[in-house]
Amino acid sequence: MKVNALLIFLLSAICFSTQANDELQALKAELALLKKKIEALEALQEEAEQAKKSEPELVNTQQHTSKRDENGIKIGGAFRYQYTYSDFDQDNQDRAGDLDFNLFRLDFKGKIDDFSLSAQYRWYDYMNVVHHAWIAYDFNERNQLKFGIQEVPFGNFPKSANSFFYSTAYFVGIQADFDTGLNWTWQDKGYRLDLGFFPNDELGGVDGWVDDRKDRYSFDVLGLRLSGEGIFSEPEAQLGESNTFNLRLSKQFDLAERMNIEPGVSFQKGHLSQNGRWRDISGLGHKQNQVGNHASYAAHVNFDYHNLNAQFQYARYKYEVDGINAEQFAVGSFNFYGTIPASANAWLLNLSWEKPVNWGAITKIRLFNDYSQLTNKSGNFDKTWMNSTGVIVSAGPLYTYIEYYKAKNQPFIGGNLVGNDEIAKGRLNMNIGYYF
């Protein structure tokens, strides 16, 4: 029995050794084949690298195609409703306020290689307007040239207010003012420099081919206010802004984590041009098209600390016509004419606090208080002031303003900039917009 067991063990060992040797030979063959495949792949890769070096145009074309993949134009828009309750309008109070359709708008925004564009058209109940329409070319990360109807860089920019009606500076044409022209922007190491040239306003100036010159988004001087004219009348002596040069310089300083301050200065100067009706009305015998000038300058500061933001600005503006001691000028916007002092100081102080939240559909709120005033007016008119306290609520596609205004001698709050109101007036304003 012991001999048989020994024979069985020896036969098993011989069989196992033969099988292991066969498997080892097969594994060596597979490794040799794999080595040949790796060598072939390395040879192909080397050939590809040589091809790239010998065909630079092909490489550039591939990179260009990759860049184009990021190109595209996006179409969006919004429609908004507005509720108002005014303590200076008895009919409005009797109706418990008014809810009106505010606007419908379309937005176009995108990029094609080094070119970018943005445009917006608005439909109101009482007018249709181009808000802006510009094309920009990016030379590099620091330099951009923009052409078209665009916001003039002046003062705290691009964010200059929290409230729906901006500030008193907006109503004299030195805040959120859109004109047609060129603007070059340079940015580096916290500095931003804007140099602009705007041949005329967004509607082509005094001789623009438009149906109604007062149908526009931003306020511009449209004429000289002659003696005896109503403050809301169409001006007989029509004017238009022309050949305006603009400069803005600011520097952002990072003081600490999520804390920075950006002081800056702004300056602009241009002409006032006449149309053919001017000579018959003024009697001055002007032979040239340019009959006056306008100029403004500002010092401004923007401060951010975590979720807090503060803005301060002082500005001075002046409109003048050669040979006339003009104290009032006619402006136009939102389908109505108004009247402003020929010169004044404009002040603003804005405070806001923003916080992301998770309150059902509500994702963010911003609490704010904006205060502005117009002082040292030509014609010794009383100062204008306006204060807005409110909240902006973001909830998905809904964006809602809820704010209360208190103001004196302020347009849209029961007054005007050349008025002498005895008491301040108030207005509750709610604007609800759906953005897509």
pLDDT at residue 115 tops 80: yes
Query: pLDDT grade, residue 9 (50/70/90)?
Result: very low
pTM: 0.82
In whole numbers, what is the pLDDT of the chain averaged over residues?
Answer: 88
Q: What pLDDT score does 208 carry? A: 84
Q: What pLDDT score does 2 carry? A: 43
Strand partners, 117: 110, 135
Q: What pLDDT score does 69 carry? A: 53
Q: What pLDDT score does 333 carry? A: 97
Residues 6 or more apart from 311 whose CB is under 8 A from it?
Answer: 156, 159, 160, 161, 300, 301, 302, 303, 348, 349, 350
The better pLDDT of the pair 38, 80 is held by 80
Q: What is the mean pLDDT of residues 245-264?
A: 97
pLDDT at residue 130 tops 50: yes
pLDDT at residue 284 tops 70: no
Q: What pLDDT score does 70 carry? A: 77
Q: What is the mean pLDDT of residues 191-216?
A: 94
Q: What pLDDT score does 290 carry? A: 84
pLDDT at residue 399 tops 60: yes
State both tokens at 171. Answer: 């109503």
C-alpha of 111 from chain center: 16
Q: What pLDDT score does 13 carry? A: 45
Q: What pLDDT score does 19 carry? A: 52
**Cα–Cα distance, 169 to 317 (Å, whole number):** 9
Q: What percent of the chain is modeled with pLDDT above 90? A: 78
The amino acid at residue 202 is E
Q: What is the mean pLDDT of residues 141-169?
A: 97
Quick: pLDDT tens for 58-110.
Answer: 233 333 334 455 789 999 999 999 999 999 999 999 999 999 999 999 999 99
Q: What pLDDT score does 21 carry? A: 56
In this structure, what are the phi and psi dihedrals at residue 251, rounded to the nearest 5 degrees?
-140, 125
Q: What pLDDT score does 147 carry? A: 98
Query: pLDDT grade, residue 257 (50/70/90)?
Result: very high
Residues 6 or more apart from 191 whose CB is under 8 A from it?
Answer: 249, 250, 251, 252
The better pLDDT of the pair 332, 52 is held by 332
pLDDT at residue 216 tops 60: yes
**Cα–Cα distance, 195 to 242 (Å, whole number):** 16
How far lies 345's CA from each of 49, 174, 385, in Å? 67, 11, 12
Q: What pLDDT score does 1 carry? A: 46
CA within 13 Å, CB half, 281: 18
Q: What pLDDT score does 5 carry? A: 47
pLDDT at residue 117 tops 60: yes
In this structure, what are the phi and psi dihedrals at residue 93, rounded to the nearest 5 degrees?
-65, -40
Question: In three state form, how does the secondary structure of the chain look?
Answer: CHHHHHHHHHHHHHHHHHHHHHHHHHHHHHHHHHHHHHHHHHHHHHHHHHHHHHCHHHHHHHHHHHHHCCCEEEEEEEEEEEEEEECCCHHHHHCCCEEEEEEEEEEEEEEECCEEEEEEEEECCCCEEEEEEEEEEECCCCEEEEEEEEECCCCCCCCCCCCCCCCHHHHHCCCCCEEEEEEEEEEECCEEEEEEEEEEECCCHHHCCCCCCCCCCCCEEEEECCCCCCCCCCCCEEEEEEEEEEEEEEECEEEECCEEEEEEEEEEEEEEEECCCHHHHHCCCCCCCEEEEEEEEEEEEEEEECCEEEEEEEEEEEEEECCECCCEEEEEECCEEEEEECEEEEEEEEEEEEEEEEECCEEEEEEEEEEEEEECCHHHCCCEEEEEEEEEEEECCEEEEEEEEEEECCCCCCCCCCCCCCCCEEEEEEEEEEEC
In degrees, to the nearest 5, what angle opens at C-alpha 379 toward C-alphas 375 and 381?
50
Query: pLDDT grade, residue 336 (50/70/90)?
Result: very high
Q: What pLDDT score does 358 carry? A: 95
Task: Among 25-29, 51-55, 260-264, name the one with the lowest average pLDDT.
Answer: 51-55
Residue 359: which region, alpha, beta or left (left: phi > 0; alpha: psi -120 to 50)? beta
Q: What pLDDT score does 289 carry? A: 81
Contact indicator for 245, 196 with CB cutoff of 8 Å: yes
